[in-house]
A and B are shown apart, each in its own frame.
Chain A
Amino acid sequence: MKNIILILFLLFFVTENNCVAQKNYELSPYQEFLLELKDYRKECRNALKPYRYDGARTTHFTYKEYNYIKEIEMGIVQNTEYRLSFNSNGIKYDPIKVQIYDKPRKYKSRVLLYEKDGVGGNEFTLETSAMLDKLKEVKREKGVEEEIVNMMRFKKLYIDYIIPAVDREIEVDPETGGEVKVVTKGAIILAVGYSNL
């Protein structure tokens, strides 16, 4: 009888520790988020069809108390049409803005080729032909000769993600009792494909 009680006690002891162990093996919210991004990357690539996949970039960001920009430089090596596929399902908080330019930020004369507000929790694609037409139109208005304009093609594109300022919430750290600013993060995926015709 005593042995049975002792075994039951030990079984209870073991089971409780096992539950604790299992809780600690559960994924953290951030790890779950990273797993979701893997699926979003796949969806982002699938949206490139029938263009041939060429590369992708996942841009992680943290919301701050001021606006700021993350810029991606994209190389275009041939005079063919490219498709850009964006997947912003990894943005769970305030939406961001996407702008695409012909030059990097340091050039005030750069041309805004494309702009989209409210990017977050959605997906969209665009092709370079429309942006090239816009660039050529701007060049014509600036007086560039038609012969030159007709020879133009993109060699680089600059994709700017404008991350909006947020009011950071304050939480009390249960361990230290001190005030800690809550960090919110997001991620947007860009995949690029080219026409192989």
Chain B
Amino acid sequence: MKYIYNLSVILSFFIIGQLFLSCANSTNDESISEVADEISNEQQDDDQEVEEELIDEDSQFIPPSPLQIASIFNKAGMHFIYDLPNSPDLVSSYTSKFKQSVVFGVYSSDLAYCIVNDKYDEASSYLKVIRELGNKIGLETVFQSDDIIAKFEDNIGSKDSIISLLIHIQENTDDYIAENELDELSVIYFSGAWIEGMYLGSKTLLEKRDGKIGGILSEQITIAEIISNGIKNMPDKSDEVKDLLDIIEDIIDTYHNFESVINLGEDVAFIDAILKDDEVTLLANKVIELRNTLIQ
């Protein structure tokens, strides 16, 4: 009996030892894989041909945040219209990664729109759907580290605190994207954010003619150009992404063909064009059409 007990103890130690050994081997395999990838990348760098002394590599861009865009419209006097933002109830209808990424941006703009207009109940709904979509598109860690919803609800009514929280979310998102090389995701979701911001401004403008908002719509075309370049730099574009690029470029081309813009010549790079009423209407309608296509 004593012999059997001793043998059991010995075998237990042996089995535990084997478990450690198998874990070490697994980690070794992962390390070898990482090194192999790195060597492969190095070899690709060496294979590149030198055509000029200075060679442009892939470009990057920094777009303005949804909060800044919402703040700009708000300062221009854009008032809150309740049924204008995309309904949070539609979140479960977005099933493809592309749609989820775009609408993540759309809801981000809607959240900012609510916050700058002191609509905190509505903002809370948008924060929840943003978190839900974030989990689906690979941004779950952004919302897991802090109890974002609880902090938001604790600070309802305090605009400065809510805005600080929104900026904190933006920082976390930017960090996560940088750490995980999710630049392509950021291009897509920012496209959604920009389109929604433009949509909210366009719809407000068509309901109530306001020269200031018309001017801001004109200013936002700069962002469309940056987004367009960001999408063009994506190496593998799906058909949905290509369609998105086509529509954004159509908006840019429409803008640059306006008489008001052509009259500015080269100065359009530094001066805001004052669009005529019919030009504003055409631009606004194109944006509304694009946005409605994206959220279907």
Contacts and interface: CB of A to CB of B under 8 A. Distances in A.
Given A64-B45, A72-B59, A56 B65 contact: no
Nearest to A10: B13
Contacts of B31: 24, 28
Interface string A65-104: 1111111111111100000000000000000000000110
Interface in B56-88: 56-65, 67-69, 71-72
How big is the B interface, by class?
Answer: 35 or more
A151 B20 contact: no
B270 A154 contact: yes
A73 B190 CA distance: 15
B269 A183 contact: no
Contacts of A162: 54
Nearest to A148: B267
B249 to A, nearest CB: 16
A68 B56 CA distance: 6
A119 to B, nearest CB: 17
Nearest to B31: A24
A24 B27 contact: yes
Interface of A: 3, 6-7, 10-11, 13-14, 17-18, 20-21, 24-25, 28, 30, 34, 37-38, 41, 45, 52-59, 61-62, 64-78, 102-103, 105, 135, 144, 148, 151-156, 162, 180-181, 183, 190, 192, 194, 196
15 contacts: A10-B14, A13-B17, A17-B17, A38-B179, A52-B167, A54-B68, A56-B174, A58-B178, A71-B59, A75-B62, A77-B223, A105-B56, A152-B267, A162-B54, A196-B71
